[in-house]
Structure 1
Amino acid sequence: MIDRVIAFLRDLPGREQTGSRSAEDPRVAAAALLYHVMDADGVRQDVEWDSIKRILADTYKVGGRELDDLVKAGEQAEQEAVDFYAFTSVLKRHLDEEQRIAFIRLLWEVVYADGVLHELEDHTLWRVADLMGVDQRDRVLARQDAARKAQGPKGTATDD
């Protein structure tokens, strides 16, 4: 009986364990949303994974094992979440308006990493932007910037 009580207390949310990360960590919240956007269309591609890792490495100046741990924590948090609010509320508290718009732009980069915009990805970005207080105009401008960047000289990105 006492073992079950100790196990229960050890697993309480918010209890910081060495090396663990929670969804309250803005980096984990960002990684979880990036992961969710990658999976929104139901097709997971290496180019999207590479995009997520590059974004997290560049944004948070992490690499190696620390980057792998952050990606894993984001993936786990996203899989355990029931909605976006847990992540968007954390980011909204930690980012100013300009940073939130920049984050939406990063999410669009993941969407366009495979060169295709799927309607579920578009809907996901609309919901995330709305919850983070990013208005429609800024969301659309961020999408257009990411689409142009993805097209590059080849013109491979498409809006389905």
Structure 2
Amino acid sequence: MITKVKKWLQLRLEPASTNQNLGIDLATAVLYVEVARADNQFEESEIQFLTQLLKREFSVSESQAQALVRDSRQHAEQAADLVSFTRLLNQQYSGVQKVQILENLWQLAYADGHLDSHEEHIIRRIADLLYIPHSQFIQAKLKAQD
């Protein structure tokens, strides 16, 4: 009986531990995907913007960026929370780099022509998890609107 409980716990805890092994590029892409799918519509304009964003940000080819989008969508669908992804960014990125991610999130949210309240909510959650002050949150939003 105890062995069965241990195996069950290991299976339940295993996905969380695999998120620890994510690369910074995949963790960042998952956050982008979370914003893009927050309004329950992952439109072509958002996919194109996301692909270009990943190519620019991580200096990858078109096919690598598309694979990163595909992988990040799978991770986003399986993720229970955003903490494992933001934790990695907090460990490896400076405050300036995290604000740049926030600006990218806002640009992605506006890529389809309008901002959905769900998109804004998820960006707020990500900003909080990245320890970005509210003033920078607002500045990034205003910058993306321009």
Scaled by the length of structure 1, the TM-score of the pair is: 0.77
Give the percent of matched residue pairs that are identical in Structure 1 and Structure 2.
26
The correspondence for 2:29, drawn from 28, 31, 35, is: 31
CA-CA distance at 1:22 after TM superposition: 7.3
> In structure 1, what is the equivalent of residue 94 of structure 2?
96
CA-CA distance at 1:92 after TM superposition: 1.1
> In structure 1, what is the equivalent of residue 125 of structure 2?
127
Q: Is the 8 A contact 2:35 2:109 kept in 1?
A: yes
CA–CA distance in structure 2, aligned partners of residues 88 and 57 of structure 1: 20
CA-CA distance at 1:68 after TM superposition: 2.2
CA–CA distance in structure 2, aligned partners of residues 42 and 73 of structure 1: 18
Scaled by the length of structure 2, the TM-score of the pair is: 0.84
Q: Does 1:79 align with 2:90?
A: no
Q: Is the 8 A contact 1:22 1:73 kept in 2?
A: no
For structure 1, list consecutive stretches of 5 or more residues without a partner in the other structure: 1-11, 16-20, 149-160
Q: What SS does structure 1 have at the residue aligned with 2:60?
A: coil
CA–CA distance in structure 2, aligned partners of residues 123 and 82 of structure 1: 17
CA-CA distance at 1:75 after TM superposition: 1.1
Which segment is superposed worse, 65-74 or 76-85? 65-74
- The C-alpha deviation readout for 1:35-90, integer Å capped at 9, x for no partner, is 11000011221111111001100000101332222112211111110011111111
Large movers: runs of 4+ above 2 Å:
12-15, 21-24
> In structure 2, what is the equivalent of residue 146 of structure 1?
144
For structure 2, list consecutive stretches of 5 or more residues without a partner in the other structure: 1-13
Q: What SS does structure 2 have at the residue aligned with 1:114?
A: coil
Aligned CA RMSD, in angstroms, stands at 2.0
CA–CA distance in structure 1, aligned partners of residues 30 and 89 of structure 2: 11
CA–CA distance in structure 1, aligned partners of residues 45 and 64 of structure 2: 20
Higher alpha-carbon Rg: 1
The total of aligned residue pairs comes to: 133
The correspondence for 2:59, drawn from 54, 58, 61, is: 61
Q: Is the 8 A contact 1:26 1:91 kept in 2?
A: yes
> In structure 1, what is the equivalent of residue 48 of structure 2?
50
